[in-house]
Amino acid sequence: MTKKLSYQQLKDIDREKIIHPQSVPKQNADEGPSMIYSKGDGIRVTDMDGGTYIDGVSMLWNVNLGHGQSELATAAYEQMNEFAYGSQFYGNSNEPAIRLADKITEYAPGDLDGVFFTSGGSESNDTAFKLSRFYWQLQGFESKKIIISLKRGYHGVTVSAQRATGIEAFREFSGSGDPHIINAKAHLTAAEQGDRTSSDFEKSIRGLIEQEGADNVAAVILEPVQGAGGVHLPPDGYLQAVRNLCDEQNVLMIADEVICGFGRTGKNFAVEHWNVTPDMISFAKGVTSGYFPLGGVIMRAKVKEAIAQYDQMLAHGFTYSGHPTGCAVALKNLEIIEREGIVDHVTEMEKELQKGLHTLQEKHKCMTKSRAIGLLAGFDLMKDPEADQLFENDVKAAETFVKACRERNLILRKFDFEDGMNTVAIAPPLIITKKEIQELIDILDDALTAVHKKWENA
């Protein structure tokens, strides 16, 4: 029997033993973890200290069916009892992986027709980079190695995904590097969106392809809607323009749908909003609603068929590629999404969320540029939006606001960028109801009033 540990004991052990991912180590070493989650139910999670919170960002935009979904737990349990793990190496397979590949290619747009499984988003993007370079190699284009990504894109933290990430702190961390990855200057910040057209973005990527030479460029990667870069929707025509550019220049287009995929934006995949078929889609997170680490790359028939003809060992793959338990959870997750009409529900809830955010924006002067597609939303905090005036850095506007929400039992995510923009992200579980959205909006309202008062008196 494991010894029961008190809340304080757990905090102390965590503080002493764990280096947390994407956290401030010194803060953790000094103060211990900010929450120790102990229970989840629907859109809510409970901290071991007893507090219950609305999970306004589905943890890391992944717990799409919400917490405590027992059907997913049962699917994992049953699969584990039957056959918990088997590898896909050396040509082996398992039924859940086979069924999942069939299901995912059925969902995917256009002629996306083959799947390579991974254990998460970063691995998926590294896989997409390697497979696109390999694809060109097979076509006799040995020099096509460069991957072009966008400023403010987030693609993960493995060495190549890190370099593709266009957020400086991640891109530069530890000085690790993949020399064949470059960042376009184009950036989809909401501030620019109004003034810049899709052709500006196209020009920025075109400029890089021309600078490097199309013979050296393997692929362009982008998120259809940027997530961790501050929730930015593309201008109309943008994805189509990139698609056309890639076709014209003989470059593959990779859509990173790690956040967007499986209903988050009100479509199975976000590229469907703009009728674009990329050459590869990387996915993870929502495929299992976070109940099991799983990801993958879906590829168009021409890529899959070229690779399928390779007659030596494909020197790439993860121990957990095609994990039967993960795939069984994903299959159940997709079954529930279909059965419950979740994707249509998201479109309906988008309207509620947009309406609520709009009302708040009218009421609170510091809130601006609210945006939402499906249940992926964000807004900026500015000192004076009309005068285009940002908050001073020491105000820590987004951090202060997110803290105020937390004090009101709502978990949100903040982004404060080096250019001084303060952004707040909202991405609740896709099962959220109209009433719960109103509850979330009411908390935002109250927190905005509180911080505004504080900032005015400062």
Give the contact letters, 61-100, x = binds to ligand PLP (CB under 6 A), - = no. ----------------------------------------
Is 376 a binding residue for ligand PLP by CB under 6 A? The answer is no
Select from 42, 47, 36, 27 the least CA-distant residue to 289: 42
Q: Interior CA angle at 186 toward 251 and 261, to 5°?
A: 65
Nearer CB in complex with ligand PLP: 11/264: 264
Is 321 a binding residue for ligand PLP by CB under 6 A? The answer is no
Q: Is 310 exposed, middle or buried (0-12, 13-18, 19+ CB in 10 A)?
A: exposed
Binding piece for ligand PLP, criterion CB under 6 A, among 87-95, 221-229, 299-307, 427-435: 221-229
Partnered with residue 98 across adjacent β-strands are none
Is 259 a binding residue for ligand PLP by CB under 6 A? The answer is yes
Is 115 a binding residue for ligand PLP by CB under 6 A? The answer is no
Q: What is the 3-state secondary structure (H, E, C) of 3-14?
A: CCCCHHHHHHHH
Is 356 a binding residue for ligand PLP by CB under 6 A? The answer is no
Binding piece for ligand PLP, criterion CB under 6 A, among 254-262, 272-280, 305-313, 435-443: 254-262
Which one of 114, 227, 296, 374 is in contact with ligand PLP (CB under 6 A)?
A: 227
For residue 99, give the 3-state DSSP assignment. helix
CB hemisphere CA count around 220 (13 angstroms) = 31
Task: Kindly list the distances between the CA atom of residue 414 and the CA atoms of 153, 373, 392, 400, in Å, as whole numbers in the listed order.
Answer: 16, 18, 16, 9
Is 60 a binding residue for ligand PLP by CB under 6 A? The answer is yes
Which one of 65, 150, 228, 412 is in contact with ligand PLP (CB under 6 A)?
A: 228
Is 287 a binding residue for ligand PLP by CB under 6 A? The answer is no
Nearer CB in complex with ligand PLP: 88/124: 124
For residue 331, give the 3-state DSSP assignment. helix
Binding piece for ligand PLP, criterion CB under 6 A, among 90-98, 119-127, 405-413, 442-450: 119-127
Task: Kindly list the distances between the CA atom of residue 374 and the CA atoms of 58, 265, 316, 431, in Å, as whole numbers in the listed order.
Answer: 14, 4, 35, 12
Binding piece for ligand PLP, criterion CB under 6 A, among 74-82, 170-178, 223-231, 309-317: 223-231
Is 256 a binding residue for ligand PLP by CB under 6 A? The answer is yes
CB 12 within 8 A of CB 18: no
Is 152 a binding residue for ligand PLP by CB under 6 A? The answer is no
Q: Is 142 exposed, middle or buried (0-12, 13-18, 19+ CB in 10 A)?
A: exposed
Nearer CB in complex with ligand PLP: 369/413: 413
Nearer CB in complex with ligand PLP: 292/401: 292
Which one of 122, 189, 265, 333 is in contact with ligand PLP (CB under 6 A)?
A: 122
Distance CA 391, CA 404 (A): 17
Nearer CB in complex with ligand PLP: 67/155: 155
Q: Is 236 exposed, middle or buried (0-12, 13-18, 19+ CB in 10 A)?
A: exposed
Which one of 154, 201, 292, 391 is in contact with ligand PLP (CB under 6 A)?
A: 154
Distance CA 260, CA 303 (A): 23
Binding footprint of ligand PLP on the chain (CB under 6 A): 60, 120-122, 125, 154-156, 223, 227-228, 256, 258-259, 284
